[in-house]
Amino acid sequence: MILLNICLQTSAPDPNAPKLWGGRGVSDFIRPYKSSEQYLYAMKEDLAEWLKELYDLDISVGSLLEVLETGSMLCYHANNITHVAGEFSRDYPGLAHKLQLPRYGVTCNDSAQPGTFQARDNVSNFIQWCRKEMDIKGKGDVLMFETEDLVLRKNEKNFVLCLLEVARRASRFGMSAPTLIQMEEEIEEEIREEMDLPPEDIPLPKPQRKPCDFKNLDQMVRGHCNRCTCPVQFSMIKVSEGKYRVGDSNTLIFVRILRNHVMVRVGGGWDTLEHYLDKHDPCRCTSLCKSPCAVSNLGGCFLYISPGFKCLREPIKGAE
Ligand SMILES: [Zn+2]
């Protein structure tokens, strides 16, 4: 999500008014602001690492889209998931009917070159497979993407979210999952236990999860909170390991470490704690900034004016 944050003055400045936040006066600056894109980076990093291990690929966060853009690997992935689903229904016939399992794989052109008709064809086959076999709905659904979103990089976010959704669904029938999905399952288990709900009715052997380093997590959370410059610090009170009550509300959030990111579970997805606080901590959208950024960098710039000003967030065209 790319946001153009515009801080508007809510009343005329009073020159005699006490100056808050370090006594800075009215001034306007812009600076590069990328926290809104960090969650996407964290997701890409997680997906790349997972695919690397799963298929022994030479892939990293920087080359994820490049490796997948011809669609060949995506089709291979779809066929592998279909194969895993087939094994699942043989091993657990009683459970298989409770899930929508993919039954048919896809045809694939292995020699497709980037940007070609063949690449589009492969990607399109994968998309159709996601819709039909994995029951991920199209049109208006953020979890689905379109061919050009990947081939021409028109919407990286939708592609990444779709890939994660495929992984989320495939994990239910025994496919190994990226760390983010494993953390989701861990949080769901915790919620189920707290609410005294019975455990998930599909007891699949899950790979050993790496335990979360909660001590380090709490320190990282404190570090993010301490950057608050509000007269009364925006609070994040630890309720239990990885679970915090935020601000004045009764909102509880689940927080986890993913490599060097602190991630927050929000709705059906994830955000980085940094971006989450940028949206919820009052001082962070009115911070003053010393170094203006190049206009060419406007991809995600903040326009800063001064504390005491109302902060408006205007989505840039093409972004959510
Ligand atoms: Zn604050």
| Per-residue model confidence as pLDDT tens for the chain (320 residues) | 333 333 333 333 334 433 333 333 333 333 344 777 899 999 999 999 999 999 999 999 999 999 999 999 999 999 999 999 999 999 988 888 888 899 999 999 999 999 999 999 999 999 999 999 999 986 566 688 999 999 999 999 999 999 999 999 999 999 999 999 999 999 998 888 888 887 766 666 666 667 778 889 999 999 999 999 999 999 999 999 999 999 888 889 999 999 989 999 988 889 999 999 998 999 987 643 333 332 222 233 333 333 333 333 333 333 33
Question: Which pLDDT does position 211 carry in this prediction?
Answer: 74
| Helix (H/G/I), strand (E/B), else coil: 99 | coil
- 229 alpha carbon to ligand 1 midpoint, in Å? 5
- 247 alpha carbon to ligand 1 midpoint, in Å? 10
- 212 alpha carbon to ligand 1 midpoint, in Å? 27
CA neighbor of 166 nearest in space, from 68, 265, 297, 33: 68
- 306 alpha carbon to ligand 1 midpoint, in Å? 14
- Topology (CATH) of 39-194: Actin-binding Protein, T-fimbrin; domain 1 (1.10.418)
- 214 alpha carbon to ligand 1 midpoint, in Å? 24
b/e sequence 133-156, b meaning 16+ C-beta within 10 Å: bbebeeeeeebbbbbebbbeeebb
Question: Which pLDDT does position 207 carry in this prediction?
Answer: 64
- 200 alpha carbon to ligand 1 midpoint, in Å? 39
Domain boundaries, the chain: 39-194
Question: Which pLDDT does position 231 carry in this prediction?
Answer: 93
Task: Quote the CA–CA distance of 120 and 148 in Å, as a whole number.
Answer: 8
Task: Quote the CA–CA distance of 298 and 308 in Å, as a whole number.
Answer: 24
Question: Which pLDDT does position 36 carry in this prediction?
Answer: 78
pTM for the structure as a whole:
0.76
Question: Which pLDDT does position 8 carry in this prediction?
Answer: 33
Q: What letter does residue 277 receive in the DSSP assignment?
A: H
Both tokens of 10, joined, read 């809510």
- 253 alpha carbon to ligand 1 midpoint, in Å? 18
- 228 alpha carbon to ligand 1 midpoint, in Å? 4
- 9 alpha carbon to ligand 1 midpoint, in Å? 18
- 112 alpha carbon to ligand 1 midpoint, in Å? 51
Ion ligand 1: residues, CB < 5 A: 228, 230, 234, 281, 283
Strand order in the sheet with 236-240: 236-240, 243-246, 252-258, 261-266, 269-272
Inter-axis angle of helices 72-91 and 117-132, nearest 10: 30
